[in-house]
Amino acid sequence: MSFNIYDLTSFTEWIHNSLSQAMSPGWVTVTEMVIVGVAFLTFYAIVGLFLVYAERKVCAFMQNRLGPNRVGPFGLFQTIADLTKLLFVELVSIRKADKVLFNLAPFIVIIASFMAIAAIPFAKGLHAIDLNIGVLYVLAVSSLGVIGILLAGWSSNNKYSLIGAMRSGAQVVSYELSVGLSLLTIVVLAGTMQLSEIVEAQRHGWFIFTGHIPAFIAFVIFIISSTAETNRGPFDLAEAESELTAGFHTEYSGIKFAFFFLAEYINMFIVASIASTLFLGGWMPLHIGSWEGFNNVMDFIPPFFWYLGKTGFIIFIMMWFKWTFPRLRIDQLLKLEWKYLLPINLVNILLMALIVLLEWHF
């Protein structure tokens, strides 16, 4: 059976049919779940390690430094060395901490990001689950991570951790509104919440171009709000080192600290994936009008590479934010959301509804 790298539906169907011939339907479902789980665990680890390395290099570039360049070629093995160190660091037991919640918190943060990444379409025919309410599902499960942060801060029995957790709660709850409304603007334009159909709707033009000004405004607001929601700089008040030592994960060490550290980068990857899927066409290539030669060259690039390129571009912008702007105060952060982003979002979604109603979009 031949496989098409431009449509991986045939590949996933071949796996399903092969398993169906060898075992009962129940075991087929279990086996497929195990395969998807192992694939995501591997992907999770690789992406997390690469993003840590990439951020060090981007930070070094912004600050005119070298970055990692000793361990392995170009310092590629530096993050692996750091991970190995974290795995073998002693897990310190905190006196008077709530042991159950203290140990549970990192797993909640990790599980929330796992659940969110399951709905992301990586290429045509390559997604774990294609829900008809994909946008709503991603919004719902991605906001569960703050529960782990709140539990970590409260159960640590540390005032710095508690303050960091309270800041994170206020921040995530506030910016979740702008994230949701900016995505809802695109849902109004696409007419569906199913992520694969949203990508297909951008076959002849990415929404950031075909959705006029409201789509671009929604994109900018989404990038700002999602950066705040993932506790990235300049919105990293929940773990402000100069004030709170390390914020909500001050008392964590070893692999538990690594979970929080890794979850931040995976959440950044998820946010960038959602942005590239809803605004930049996901796996769809760039087409320009009647430029047939240019469009044919763009079609030659496999969809998975389009998806990775767009996602990498958004991640670079988020890293650029962190190493360019100074950290905001908590009052400035909440003022930005409630006095500026939210009102703009509400007007923007009405404007998009008007454009769709009058069929002014391309």
Please state, in angstroms and rounded to a whole number, the distance separating the CA atoms of residues 5 and 9. Answer: 9
The alpha helices in 63-98, defined as continuous H runs, are 78-88
Please state, in angstroms and rounded to a whole number, the distance separating the CA atoms of residues 278 and 206. Answer: 8
Please state, in angstroms and rounded to a whole number, the distance separating the CA atoms of residues 57 and 172. Answer: 28
Amino acid identity of residue 87, one-letter, is: L
Paired with 123 in beta bridges are 126
Contact call for residues 186 and 206 (beta carbons, < 8 A):
no
**Torsion of the alpha carbons at 230, 236, 238 and 242, rounded to the nearest 10:** 160
Q: How many helices and strands in the chain, by DSSP H and E? A: 16, 0
Mean pLDDT of 5-23: 82
Paired with 126 in beta bridges are 123
Q: Which two tokens stand for residue 214?
A: 């409201």
Q: What is the pTM of this model?
A: 0.89
Query: Is pLDDT above 60 for 39?
Result: yes
CA distances from 212 to 30, 47, 203, 281, 356 (A): 45, 33, 16, 15, 11
Confidence of residue 185 (pLDDT cuts 50, 70, 90): very high
From the CB of residue 268, how many other CB atoms can be counted at a distance below 10 Å? 26
For residue 102, with 0-12 CB atoms within 10 Å meaning exposed, 13-18 middle and 19 or more buried, which class applies? buried
Residue among 113, 235, 262, 106 at smallest CA distance from 168? 235
Q: Which two tokens stand for residue 329?
A: 């105060």
What is the distance in angstroms between the CA of the first residue and the CA of the last residue of the chain?
A: 39
Query: Is pLDDT above 60 for 6?
Result: yes
Query: Is pLDDT above 70 for 194?
Result: yes
Q: Looking at per-residue confidence, does 240 or 334 come out higher?
A: 334
Confidence of residue 3 (pLDDT cuts 50, 70, 90): low
Amino acid identity of residue 308, one-letter, is: L
pLDDT at 244: 63
Please state, in angstroms and rounded to a whole number, the distance separating the CA atoms of residues 109 and 252. Answer: 14
Please state, in angstroms and rounded to a whole number, the distance separating the CA atoms of residues 97 and 93. Answer: 8
pLDDT at 1: 47
Percent of the chain predicted with pLDDT > 90:
21
Mean pLDDT of 169-176: 85
Paired with 2 in beta bridges are none
From the CB of residue 136, how many other CB atoms can be counted at a distance below 10 Å? 16
- Using the CB atoms, write b or e for 183-214: b if 16+ within 10 Å: bbbbbbbbebbbbbebbbbbeebbbbbebbeb
Confidence of residue 302 (pLDDT cuts 50, 70, 90): confident
pLDDT at 240: 65
